[in-house]
Amino acid sequence: MTSASDLASLAALLADETRAAMCLALLDGRAWTAGELARHAGVAPSTATEHLHRLIDGGLLVERRQGRHRYVQLAGPSVAHLIEDLSAQTAPRPVAARGLRAVTASAALRRGRTCYDHLAGRLGVAVTDGMTRAGLLDQSGGFAITPAGLAWLTGTLGLNPQELRPGKRPLARGCLDWTERRQHLAGLAGAKLCETLLDNGWVARIGSGRAVRLTPSGKAALSDLLGPSDID
């Protein structure tokens, strides 16, 4: 019965605060350099190297060496989902941000952000709810895109039907939002939807982090497509 040791090894990868901070940072879906992660986690570069080795050997991260930089990234959506799931399981903590900068930054994150490759925060939940109200998404029997929803994605939004074929990754999945405690749309459809909203300029990134905001044109477009809502 050595599956226990497998489970323990996997959990051990996330059981260190420094590695956990790195993985949470990588949840934005982008590739970070080793030095950036070291600074973010507050450890020496040599320490970061060791941690990255373990995370890569354990299959949670993949690396791409480019010149004198080493870029690392989450190994895939399933890893991102795993980390989000674990985060959601942690007890909700009272936000005790100190200072104005920290407060506004955390408020922005709660309002809207990306979660690996799809939308999360109040914005993500609002879009998910809007789609549910419009009959595009079924949350009563589980979590699935309806036939009308598929037509909406490929027709109205103009997504490529070929790219929405569920292969290894399911078309739709609920992802528990750790600020809203509600489900939002993840999976293939969630990723493609987020990509489209960014491409159309309906949602824009704030700074260089995970926070995003709904643009005025996006607000108009979404209330047109999904009906009026209180998305801010």
Which residue in 11, 50, 103, 156 binds DNA (CB under 7 A)? 50
Binding partner at 45 among a copy of itself, DNA, none, C-beta below 5 to 8 Å by kind: DNA
DSSP-assigned beta bridge partners for residue 120:
113
As given in the structure block, the two tokens for residue 216 are: 């005025």
Which residue in 26, 37, 171, 203 binds a copy of itself (CB under 8 A)? 171
Kindly state the DSSP code that residue 134 receives in the 8-state scheme. T
CB of 39 to a copy of itself, least distance (A): 13
Q: For residues 212 and 228, what is the distance between their CA atoms, to the nearest angstrom?
A: 20
| Residue number, 55 or 172, with CB nearest to DNA | 55
Burial label for 64, CB within 10 Å (0-12, 13-18, 19+), is exposed
CB of 217 to a copy of itself, least distance (A): 29
Q: For residues 194 and 52, what is the distance between their CA atoms, to the nearest angstrom?
A: 29
85 CB contacts (<8 Å, ≥6 apart)?
Answer: 176
| Residue number, 46 or 140, with CB nearest to a copy of itself | 140
66 CB contacts (<8 Å, ≥6 apart)?
Answer: none
- The answer to whether 194 and 131 have CB atoms below 8 angstroms apart is no
| Residue number, 106 or 200, with CB nearest to a copy of itself | 106
3-class DSSP assignment, residue 119? strand
Binding segment for DNA (CB under 7 A), chosen from 15-23, 81-89, 107-115, 150-158, is 15-23
Binding partner at 46 among a copy of itself, DNA, none, C-beta below 5 to 8 Å by kind: DNA
- Per-residue mark of binding to a copy of itself, 37-76 (x: CB under 8 A): ----x-----------------x-----------------
Binding segment for a copy of itself (CB under 8 A), chosen from 49-57, 140-148, 205-213, 220-228, is 140-148
- Run of H or E residues at 214: strand 212-214
174: left (phi > 0), else alpha (psi -120 to 50), else beta?
beta
Q: How far is CA 207 from CA 4, 22, 52, 109, 229, in A?
A: 42, 19, 26, 12, 26
Binding status of residue 98 toward DNA by CB under 7 A: no
Which residue in 161, 166, 201, 227 binds a copy of itself (CB under 8 A)? 166
- Applying CB under 8 A, the residues found at the interface with a copy of itself are 1-21, 23-24, 41, 59, 78-79, 81-83, 85-87, 89-91, 93, 138, 140-147, 149-150, 166, 170-174, 187
Q: Which residues bind DNA (CB under 7 A)?
A: 12, 15-19, 33-36, 38, 42-54, 67-70
